[in-house]
Amino acid sequence: MKSILKTYPVVSTLTFICLFLGILTSIYGNAMYDLLAFHSKPVYYWQYMSGTLMHGSKGAPLWFLWVHLFLNGLMILPFGGLLERKRGSKHVLVIFVTATVVSSIAFHLLTLGQKIQATGISAVGYAFITGGVMLLLNIWKEFSCTVKLFYLFLILLSSLMLLPMITGWISTFLHLSGIASYLLLLSSATALRKMLKASVDSS
């Protein structure tokens, strides 16, 4: 356990928080959604961000919460873990914060004038997948056939979950916001490196 926390501190912490909130939501039900879910008309300031770590839906059966959490775990753990191991914890933390902020903005723009709640870390998961796929292209030969098939299955599954007929239009746009957040980070980092290089060269 200590080695996992040391190697994957960000991904491990996110996983434990999601699990802990899942257990609390299983016990206290709708009160947890009222307190922590994304709200299109937030009552508390933390509701702009806290919905990322919640799962399930107000009024939905309990099994939906754990299926939702399990599916998101299939993105967070394999792809987030890969990024944290290869790129570092700071890199993963920046992705998490950026994807959370971008998805929150997207949610409030999409639900303007409506009264809707939402939950899930899937936008962060899609940001991890985007970065993970780019990384996989460079290290694909390192993996066994079984691991390659596992990642291909996850990529296929996550692609299907982008379809609005499966998850709904709001979820699709929120998932896309996660992809966009990673691409935004990547382009910003590239532009910054070019600026620093030009500054060094000119001096």
Does the pLDDT value for residue 2 go beyond 80?
Answer: no
CA distance 177 to 155: 17
Does the pLDDT value for residue 203 go beyond 80?
Answer: no
Q: How far apart are the first and last CA of the chain?
A: 49
Average pLDDT over residues 171-176: 96
> What pLDDT sits at residue 83?
97
CA distance 201 to 5: 41
> What pLDDT sits at residue 3?
74
> What pLDDT sits at residue 62?
95
- Tokens at 6, concatenated: 């040391």
DSSP state of 143: S
